Amino acid sequence: MKDYMKVSCKLLHSLIMMRIESRAADEIWFCLGGKKVRFSFWDFTLITGLNPSNEDRYENDIPSGRRLAEEYFQGRKVVKPGELRDAFYTDAKNEDDRYKLGLALIYENVLKCKEINTSVDMEVLNIVDNLELFNKYPWGRKCYDILLYGLRKGFSKVPLAHYSLWGFPLALQVWAFETVPAIRKFFRAKRTEQRLPRMCGWKSTLTCSFDEIIELLNAPINEILFPLTPTNKEEEQEYVRLFPTISEKNGPLIWSTRSRR
């Protein structure tokens, strides 16, 4: 595992420092090497392979009962991530429940990824109790909205200036490698396997200083691969076929159902 991609907090922080304002509500723009570049829901979907459908389509499928909440958290409406972790490790009464609690834990710690003192999304416990629903649920839309909120929220000044990057920021790092070859080369990042979704094949182990990264992002960048376009194999994937139509607004058209098979 040591050869696989490491999350670079310094790169993510440097990208945030390059964010520019945009009227578009569903995307983030950066100025990299003097060029404006967009990170959108389409990029997030192509990189992660998570279902991009609208959550409303599945609202009626979510179980109305709260079995897992009643069984392991006394029916409480507020549960901390640490309590979910304890239920997974020590309290699960059978292997099926342990598996479901583990999936909820992956969502909380990897895809949602908020601070430890925030509450568990209790709806996820209802969803995961129906594994068929859990496997087809549009986690892409849900996780992208959380990431987008964290990127847009900006700095808090209490008690000291800081920000929290929520959601699944690894997708933003892979997007930088995919979109800006200069960043890819600088981090010695390689997509060694053509596995799908795209994030599965990347490797990068180089660590750099903030100053080196900022210098790179401020220097002229000649090549920008923007927007990302799907390969023939990707067009066959369900997460691409399910992607909603996007119209041209505040930027180039990135995808349309008219071009699908």
Could you read off the pLDDT of 87-142 as tens digits, one per residue?
A: 999 999 999 999 999 999 999 999 988 766 789 999 999 999 999 999 999 999 99
Tell me: do 128 and 187 sit in the same domain: no
Could you give the number of structural domains in the chain?
2
**pLDDT cut 90: percent of the chain above it:** 66
* pLDDT the model gives residue 166: 85
Determine the distance from the C-alpha atom of residue 153 to the mean position of all C-alpha atoms in its chain, rounded to a whole number: 16
- Weakest mean pLDDT among 107-121, 210-224, 241-255: 241-255
Please say which residue of 86, 105, 137 terminates a domain.
Answer: 137
Residue 113's pLDDT is what? 83
- Domain span including residue 28: 9-48+153-259
Look at residue 237 and tell me if it is in a domain. yes
At residue 23, the pLDDT reads: 83
Measured over the CA atoms of residue 130, residue 135, residue 136 and residue 139, the dihedral's sign is positive
65 and 44 within one domain:
no
Q: What gap in Å lies between CA 193 and CA 227, rounded to an integer?
A: 21
Residue 118, pLDDT score: 85
CA 80 from centroid of its chain's CA atoms:
21
If asked whether residues 89 and 212 sit together in one domain, one would say: no
Per-residue three-class SS string for the chain = CCCCCCCCHHHHHHHHHCEECCCCCCEEEEEECCEEEEEEHHHHHHHHCCCCCCHHHHHHHCCCCCHHHHHHHCCCCCCCHHHHHHHHHHHCCCHHHHHHHHHHHHHHHHHHCCCCCCCCCHHHHHHHCCHHHHHHCCHHHHHHHHHHHHHHHCCECCCCCECCCCCCCHHHHHHHHHHCHHHHHHCCCEECCCCCCHHHHEECCCCCCHHHHHHHHHCCCCCCCCCCCCCHHHHCCHHHHCCCCCCCCCCCCCCCHHHCC
Residues 172 and 205 in one domain: yes
Q: Which two tokens stand for residue 257?
A: 């159902």
Entry pTM = 0.87
Does one domain contain both 233 and 159?
Answer: yes
Question: What's the chain's average pLDDT?
Answer: 87
pLDDT in tens, 140-189: 999 999 999 888 876 555 566 666 778 899 999 999 999 999 999 999 99
Same domain as 68, residue 31: no
216 inside domain: yes
Question: Which of 81, 107, 137 is the C-terminal boundary of a domain?
Answer: 137
Q: Are 167 and 152 in contact (CB under 8 A)?
A: no
Answer yes or no: do 44 and 59 share one domain.
Answer: no
Q: Residue written as tokens 């945030």? A: 16
Q: Are residues 255 and 192 in the same domain?
A: yes
Q: Do 157 and 44 fall into the same domain?
A: yes
Could you tell me if residue 201 is left (phi over 0), alpha (psi between -120 and 50 degrees) or otherwise beta? alpha
27 and 40 in contact (C-beta within 8 Å)? yes
